[in-house]
Structure 1
Amino acid sequence: MTTDVDLPVSGRKVAGSRAGGSAAGAPLVVALHGGGYNRRYFDVPGHSLLDLGAATGFPVFSVDRPGYGGSAPLPGGATSFGDHAEALDDAIGALWAEHGEGRPGVVLLGHSIGSAIAVHVAARHPHWPLLGISIHGVGDRSPAHIVDAWRTLPAGGPVELPAEQRRALLYGPEGTVDAGTVESAKVSVEAVPLEEMLEIVGGWPEQVAQLAAAVIVPVQYTLAEYDGLWVVEESRVAAFAGYFNAAPWVDARLQAGAGHNLDHHRLSRALHLRQLAFASECAARMPAARG
């Protein structure tokens, strides 16, 4: 069963969903959604990371990033990935203080812009025990037509992608995803701040190598074959993984048969099981890595 939780952090509300798991030695798993979605992205019926975590004994939290869902926006309208990382660093620290007793540490999961922010968080070397990061739906080079499209959007408020565009860019072809799942996932859809869209095709590609080089925990990286927001090639996967040159180990793969929103595809369970296996390995290898 999924439970909603609120975390007051520095007087600002941070909302999340929790699925309890009590397996001995299992780390705390915290998931960060991408742009244009809220925390429910990880809890779509039939494709729920939270349900799978509960069934396998992992305590999993899905957190609304600032300004999404039930989480308050940052003061002054701050929307940069670095600003979000700072705020989420504090929020995860509060989660750890309340729910981390007896746990070996935290494994941070991210999708899309949430992955970029997870890298920012890891590069900060947080005070709470980060064991590893699992990221997917992010790369270092977007197709030219995506960059041009995002940069020509009119200035102003948040952007709502039309349903047809969302289906084309974020999901793979028929046979990789069920139409009913795409419909069910609409409960997690929100408008995305234009600033996020511009940063993911602008500042992020320029900063990712430097940020990744500061990450000193294990990394799991997945890019889907039909991801419409990134240049998808084996060489790009290898290049992206290579940025994490200070990580103890990096597990990188190009996932065939799925699109950008891999968590909602028919292969979602395979992804989530690999993520939880990665979390378990991070916890099991932690003493050796720190010894």
Structure 2
Amino acid sequence: MTSLEPELTHAVRRLVADVHAVPASGLLAEVPNPRAVIVALHGGATTSAYFDHPGHPRLSLLRTAAAAGFSVLALDRPGYGSSAGYEERMGTPEQRTEFAYEAVAALLDGVERGLGVFLWAHSAGCELTVRMAGDRRGTDLLGVELAGMGRVHHPRSVLAMEEWRRDPTRTRPNLRRALWDPPHAYPPDVYGGRHIGSPSPAYEGRRERWQEEFARLSAQVPVPVHITLAEHEQVWANGPEGLADLASMFTGSPRVVVHEQAGAGHNTSVGRTALAYHLHVLAFVEECALAVQALPAERRYRDG
């Protein structure tokens, strides 16, 4: 155990709340007088455990952020966790966005929010996050982190993604390889996601109009945006070109910051460099909080 690990033992609770007769679940690390609340949205084929991997507190976003004074809610996205099996109630993007908003409100009921809420998303969770941020309903939204997303697939994953879209509920070896390469980027018992895996709801592959919608919604995000792609990303086109392409979409944001996470594969929050990644983005969250704190109180949470 390293000298830092005792600081990453903050309690994490699993919560379930009722949202119009559909159970919504997530993991919460709550601190007194938080600087802000981070709402984390996992990617496909996993759950909120992605942000608090069992047995690896050093990789945990929840524990690292709590040690820095932030409360964190890792939400099980619609169709995952306790809401699995209710996909008929979440068939459209609008229904899923509404469910996510109400789930966050229910699970954070009575939880101090500090200066506001920061949305932190990975991979498939970025779609929901961009919809939520572009919706502009959250007037206390501080900023957004988007990791492991893109508009153009990496050449190594084009065929695998086509297979997955035809049936996202099935395991695809080619896609699994793209998601988890290179093996050395992950601890041996983390590689492959066997301790955090989950079936994907059928809607996950249906994004025929997403590129068009992404162009519209990204331009409506009114808060600072941070974008991360892994050095060894193999699902989306990465490198300076991939990052610049994504950054160019957020024309309504007052600030867009891009970052390539050295040594990481697609799953940046469970790899060996997870702590470095989390600390890097937490610095951005703190910058967003400082920017809001500097505003007069009457201007802090009005719509952009």
TM-score (norm 2): 0.84
State the match for 1:272 in structure 2.
278
Between the aligned partners of 1:81 and 1:233, the Cα distance in structure 2 is 30
- 1:16 and 2:26 equivalent? yes
- 1:160 and 2:171 equivalent? yes
User: Structure 1 counterpart of 2:133, which letter?
Assistant: A
Between the aligned partners of 2:156 and 2:273, the Cα distance in structure 1 is 27
SS in 2 for 1:264: coil
Equivalent in 227, 233, 243 of residue 237 of structure 1 = 243
Equivalent in 35, 58, 65 of residue 44 of structure 2 = 35
Between the aligned partners of 1:133 and 1:203, the Cα distance in structure 2 is 22
Please report the RMSD computed on the Cα atoms of aligned residues, expressed in angstroms: 2.4
State the match for 1:170 in structure 2.
179
259-268 or 271-280, which deviates more: 271-280
Unaligned runs of 5+ in 1: none
Q: CA deviation at 1:196?
A: 1.4
Between the aligned partners of 1:63 and 1:43, the Cα distance in structure 2 is 12
142-151 or 265-274, which deviates more: 142-151
Return closer, same or farther for 1:130/1:73 CA change in 2, 3 Å cut-off.
farther
State the match for 2:5 in structure 1.
none
Question: How many aligned positions are there?
Answer: 284
C-alpha contact (below 8 Å) 2:163/2:172 kept by paired residues: no
Return closer, same or farther for 1:153/1:109 CA change in 2, 3 Å cut-off.
closer
Equivalent in 20, 26, 48 of residue 60 of structure 2 = 48
State, as a whole percentage, how many aligned pairs show the same letter.
32
Q: CA deviation at 1:15?
A: 0.4
Between the aligned partners of 1:36 and 1:138, the Cα distance in structure 2 is 15
Q: CA deviation at 1:83?
A: 3.0
Structure showing the higher helix proportion among its residues: 1
Note the 1:124-163 alignment, pairs <5 A: 124-143=135-154, 146-152=157-163, 158-162=169-173
Q: Deviation per CA, 1:208-230, whole angstroms, max 9, x where unpaired?
A: 12110000011111011222211
C-alpha contact (below 8 Å) 2:77/2:100 kept by paired residues: yes
Q: CA deviation at 1:243?
A: 0.8
Unaligned runs of 5+ in 2: 1-10
TM-score (norm 1): 0.88
SS in 2 for 1:54: helix
Equivalent in 197, 202, 219 of residue 205 of structure 2 = 197
- 1:63 and 2:75 equivalent? yes
Between the aligned partners of 2:181 and 2:159, the Cα distance in structure 1 is 22
